[in-house]
Chain A
Amino acid sequence: MPKVIITLGNDISTDDIYPGRFMATVLPTETPQFAFFDRTDFNAKLKAKAFPAGSIIVGGENFGCGSSREQACSTLKGHEVAIVAKSISRIFLQNSINLGLQVVICPGIEASEGDDLEITADQVLNKTTGRAYDQVRLPAARKGIMDAGGLIPYTRARLMAKV
């Protein structure tokens, strides 16, 4: 069962997730080392691979606000974490879907570090507290991109359909 590895407040910015000073680094293979770089302890644990794949970061409102930098998504995808947040900023949400980073919008979510969460098709179950929270479903248009495995394969398929 995936565990909550950190709970964060509202308005977690892309500068927090991936500081601007590392923006010259663009390759998804290289960005993960800088995830939450200025949260020194958390960054160290991520880098030490202390968390199994599928571990969950719980955020508040407006997660991923700020810059359009895609490194903020590739850095988290590199650690194979999932994001459950009350709301997610527009560009971050779109970038996540485009890259295949698992993000779940769950307006009522309440969880503490160490809680076990199960993400179902339309809910998030907190197994530790026994409570269930509804997800906000993503629009159908985004599903096409997710089903294709991200925006690159999706675009490739559209391109091939044209020629």
Chain B
Amino acid sequence: MGMTVVEKILARAAGLPSVKVGDVVEPKVDLAMSHENAALVINQFQEVFEGTGLAPKIWDPSRIAIIFDHRVPAESPKTATNQKKIREFVAAHGITKFHDVRGDVGGICHQILPEYGYVRPGFVVVGTDSHTTSHGALGAFSFGIGATEMASVWSLGIAVNIEVPATIKVVVKGEFPPMVGPKDLILHLIGKLTAQGANYKVLEFHGETIRKMSTSGRIAICNMSVEAGATSGIVPGDEETVRYLREEAGVTEAIPCTTPDADATYCQTVEIDVSTLVPQIACPHMVDHVKPVDAVAGTKVQQIVIGSCTNGRLDDLEIAAGILRGKKVAEGTRMLVFPASSKIFAKALDRGIVHDLMKAGAVVMNSGCGPCLGVHEGALGDHEVALSTTNRNFKGRMGNPTGEVYLCSPAVAAASAITGAITDPRTMN
């Protein structure tokens, strides 16, 4: 019987000839990522060794990645002390894939992992972050876990107790109309599936639109797969994956790609034609509360956010700058831009994108999660409305439970910055 791409990856990683949905396996982990919550992982990891007489030892420090992004630079002594503790741990255990608060190699974990070639097709990747689904964009089986589970991975090198998930095949065809892109596709899909429509399942993406899509766009759709409840999203590795890893991540060794069998079994198939898709908006306070932009056009917005692991990459910033060039952010609206990594920030500087955005009135901040999770900077005032290219709009997400967050593409965010209200970018000249 044929296998899906995730079944093949799990079979390989668990050392089995084949696996099927529902099997419980213990795959070897190829990469284990944490951010500032490594502070909790470290506690739990040390607790595992308590009373054993053994010194705490990571199974393979070269397979651990730790990236500071959620609260950089630290917003409080507590965070700064957590970061300090993690830094000491990293040095003591010889963890090399460590990205500190830096303007050269810093950035959001889900951007750093692809950017530095840490993720490869066919890998099993776990991360103490729900958007670890992002790395399916490179053909890996990549999913979020909690801190205690990560402590177990650090100790044993395997993910214990993994059930082989069922897979939904998503086939995407057609060419995106102008001002419509991958973010609109994934918002539309989440609206269709609902916030739990893919619970415990994998979304495997296929079709001509996906084949032609850049890795940046693929990261955006895999990133948000978790908003439909999916364990992971995955685009089986292909020419674009190899191109990205070679040209942008500088990988020189062989890059074998795992692809699904033609007779693999899927629990459901979803087909989408993007040629008629319009810009999509996820309305407060649920990501599956998705409407076409027209339905909410005119809603006044006090804060525009462009950034995050979903849409803070160079192409996203370029789209925004293209719309804002020579224009101004509306009075009464503030626009905050967070490039997803320092490398992206530097490229955006080289290309004049940062200058264009600043000239329009945007505040360009250091790379990191910023207001996406609302702990650090860019909080909303009482009853304020934000329009954001991030991935979650739960109540309180942007730091204020009375605030409202709408989610959209960079094009919608940029067009709306000019008018101060939710605006269909197709209506801008």
A47 near B: Cβ within 8 Å?
A: no
Question: Closest residue to A142 on the B side, CB-wise?
Answer: B161
Instruction: Give the shortest distance, in Å, between B355 (CB) and chain A (any CB).
Output: 32
Question: Closest residue to B163 on the A side, CB-wise?
Answer: A139
28 contacts between A and B (CB under 8 A): A15-B394, A16-B394, A20-B397, A20-B399, A23-B70, A24-B78, A26-B82, A62-B196, A66-B392, A67-B130, A68-B132, A69-B146, A70-B37, A70-B146, A70-B148, A71-B40, A90-B199, A94-B149, A95-B146, A142-B161, A144-B161, A151-B148, A152-B47, A152-B48, A155-B152, A155-B160, A156-B48, A159-B52
A154 surroundings in chain B (CB, below 8 A): 152, 160
Main DSSP-derived SS at the B contact region: loop
B156→A158 contact, CB < 8 A: yes
- Tally of contact residues, A, Cβ under 8 A: 48
CA distance A142 to B48 in the complex (A): 18
Instruction: Give the shortest distance, in Å, between B383 (CB) and chain A (any CB).
Output: 14
A68 surroundings in chain B (CB, below 8 A): 127-130, 132, 144-146
Of the candidates A66, A142, A150, the one having the most CB atoms from chain B within 10 angstroms of its own CB is: A66
A21 surroundings in chain B (CB, below 8 A): 374-375, 396, 399
Q: If the complex has contacts A98-B148, A152-B47, A154-B160, are A24 and B52 also in contact, measured as CB distance less than 8 A? A: no
B79→A24 contact, CB < 8 A: yes
Q: Count A-B contacts at CB 8 Å.
A: 149
Q: If the complex has contacts A151-B148, A159-B54, are A87 and B196 also in contact, measured as CB distance less than 8 A? A: yes
A91 near B: Cβ within 8 Å?
A: yes
Question: Closest residue to A31 on the B side, CB-wise?
Answer: B40
A91→B396 contact, CB < 8 A: no
Write out, one digit per residue, whether chain B residues 100-125 have a CB within 8 A of any chain A CB (1) or not (0): 00000000000000000000000000
A73 surroundings in chain B (CB, below 8 A): 146
A26→B375 contact, CB < 8 A: no
B149→A159 contact, CB < 8 A: no
B43→A155 contact, CB < 8 A: no
Instruction: Give the shortest distance, in Å, between B193 (CB) and chain A (any CB).
Output: 12
